[in-house]
Amino acid sequence: MQGEVKKGRIIFHIDMNSFYASVEMAYDPELKGKPVAIAGNAEERKGIIVTCSYEARKYGVKTTMQLWQARRLCPDLVVRKPNFDRYRQSSKAMFDVLREYTPLVEPVSIDEGYMDITEYTNGQNPIDIAKSLQSRLLEELMLPSSIGIAPNKFLAKMASNMKKPLGITVLRKRELNQLLWPLPVEEMHGVGEKTGEKLKGIGIHTIHDLVVAEDGKLKELLGINGERLKKRASGIDDRPVDPDSIYDFKSIGNSSTLPKDSSNPRELDKLISKLAESVSRRMNRKNVLASRLSVMIRYGNRQTFTRTAKLENPIAGASDIEEKAKRIFYKHWTGEPIRLLGITGMDLLEKEEAVKQLDLFSYQEDAKEEPLWNVLDQINGKFGKNTIKRGLTGRTDEDHTSGTSFNKDFLRDSKD
């Protein structure tokens, strides 16, 4: 059923409102009604706002704003450090509620997901189902949410963003010319700041401009993504709600902000080593190898650059990741003080499917191990595929440092 494209689908997009702040309020009811912000590294860097309550937003407090700026706007701001274990628990409870309405639930991050209730309405009005769901999340978990209802995932996502907090919005295809197309193109899901600037450069300022744009111009500007965006803007999106999509990942990464801007190579090398260990640990836990490696550099003036290199052989070891990352970093670093560094393994392959391409520098080392691999293959062939594995695959303690992978790692145990 999931593979079929159905007409008249009823798709929900659930978007939790100010999730981290709402979870803190649920654990500490005295915070309700107060301006609350979640900020990381408060002591080291005066903090960056991760998220904030709607009461704080009324004062102009925003995500990514520095904490000192937020406190200047809102002197009574209540600040809490992120508690990711707590957020994971609340997220799991939230998705458990969603699955009581339909098994077709697709988590896309810690605080949002899609539901396909087409075959699970039991004759009820979808709006009534949404009201019931929203009420249960609020009453049982004390977590507010906004829900978009539409015939496909893209429109449901756009609808859930139209009324916050505690909104329920229906977006039908016949209403696109009134509700969707007049919006600025940068407000469209899938259009980031850079893509928005590119589109404006060829005269596309609204979502309607995108709908009527020439296919050739879009393809020349954005490649295949241009065609995809135009279809979505036109209300065309046949993607199914896939409960297993959380296990499909193409990258694993981590980033870290320095206590203070630094141009000290020894300090930067130490951070690269730490990030490489974190990324390697996550890759080994998922039993994958990276075919490409990306290094993100953010300078003290907030300029950010990402540089990527294709690897001759897939890697997962910390030392290999560290070596390649340093090579990329020192090739592109200008020498200016750095605020943040990040490493991401990309184009991931499962270890069993990865084929190492031997070169003149590695074939002798690999050849030495070949007799051992042949013996292991014979044993596995006789007694079963994974009787003996090449290397150890064990559970590692969860890395509790906040990083770029958190939203993808959050539900690894969601079906336990």
- Assess whether 396 and 382 both reside in one domain: yes
CA distances from 23 to 79, 231, 277 (A): 13, 36, 30
78 located within any domain: yes
- Assess whether 53 and 86 both reside in one domain: yes
**In the listed set 171, 186, 212, which residue is the last one of a domain according to the structure?**
171
Average pLDDT by stretches of 10, the chain with 416 residues = 57 97 96 92 67 96 90 94 91 95 92 95 95 98 98 98 96 96 96 91 97 94 92 96 75 89 94 95 86 92 87 89 95 93 87 48 46 52 46 36 43 47
- Assess whether 135 and 194 both reside in one domain: no
Q: Where are the beta strands (DSSP E) in 266-403?
A: 288-299, 304-315, 338-350
CATH, residue 97: 3.30.70.270
75 located within any domain: yes
- Assess whether 277 and 192 both reside in one domain: no
Amino acid identity for residue 37 in this structure:
A
415 located within any domain: no
| CA atoms of 244 and 227, how far apart (whole Å) | 26
Any idea what DSSP says for residue 346? E
Single out the catalytic residue among 112, 119, 140, 227.
112
Q: How far is CA 159 from the centre of its chain?
A: 20
- Counting every residue written for the chain, the total comes to 416
pLDDT at 352: 57
CATH, residue 209: 1.10.150.20
- Give the pair of three-digit tokens for residue 371: 């007799």
- Assess whether 15 and 128 both reside in one domain: yes
- Assess whether 18 and 165 both reside in one domain: yes
pLDDT at 1: 37
pLDDT at 48: 85
65 located within any domain: yes
1 located within any domain: no
Query: Pairing between strand 145-150 and 48-52?
Result: unpaired
CB 323, CB 271: distance < 8 Å: no
Q: Domain span at residue 113?
A: 7-171
Angle, vertex CA 225, rays to CA 199 and CA 283, nearest 5: 120
Q: How far is CA 191 from the centre of its chain?
A: 15
pLDDT at 34: 96
3-class secondary-structure state, position 261: strand
Residue 12's beta-bridge partner residues?
115, 149
| CA atoms of 32 and 11, how far apart (whole Å) | 31
CB 140, CB 202: distance < 8 Å: no
CB 131, CB 168: distance < 8 Å: yes
pLDDT at 390: 41
Q: Tell me if 28 is assigned to a ligand binding site.
A: no
Token pair 């059923």 is found at: 1
pLDDT at 413: 45
| CA atoms of 318 and 272, how far apart (whole Å) | 10
**In the listed set 152, 171, 190, which residue is the last one of a domain according to the structure?**
171
- Give the pair of three-digit tokens for residue 78: 């209540």
pLDDT at 275: 96
- Assess whether 236 and 358 both reside in one domain: no
3-class secondary-structure state, position 105: strand
- The number of helices, as runs of H, and strands, as runs of E, in the chain is 16, 12
Measuring CA to CA, which residue among 156, 136, 161 is closest to residue 146?
Answer: 161
**In the listed set 199, 222, 242, which residue is the last one of a domain according to the structure?**
242
- Assess whether 15 and 153 both reside in one domain: yes
- Assess whether 12 and 154 both reside in one domain: yes
Q: Tell me if 15 is assigned to a ligand binding site.
A: yes
- Assess whether 185 and 159 both reside in one domain: no
Contacts of 192 (CB under 8 A, 6+ apart): 186
| Domains in the chain, number | 3
**Which helix (DSSP H) or strand (DSSP E) does residue 381 occupy?**
helix 363-383
416 located within any domain: no
CATH, residue 301: 3.30.1490.100
| CA atoms of 374 and 380, how far apart (whole Å) | 10
**Which helix (DSSP H) or strand (DSSP E) does residue 10 occupy?**
none
Q: Give the N- to C-terminal CA distance of the chain in Å, as an integer.
A: 23
**297 — phi, psi (to 5°)?**
-120, 120
Contacts of 39 (CB under 8 A, 6+ apart): 47, 48, 49, 50, 67, 70, 79, 80, 81
237 located within any domain: yes
Any idea what DSSP says for residue 337? -
Neighbours of 84 (CB within 10 A): 16
- Assess whether 165 and 179 both reside in one domain: no
Q: Where are the beta strands (DSSP E) in 74-119?
A: 78-80, 105-109, 112-116
Residue 352 catalytic? no
Token pair 């990083």 is found at: 403
Tell me the pTM. Answer: 0.65
308 located within any domain: yes
Token pair 């050849």 is found at: 367
- Assess whether 103 and 201 both reside in one domain: no
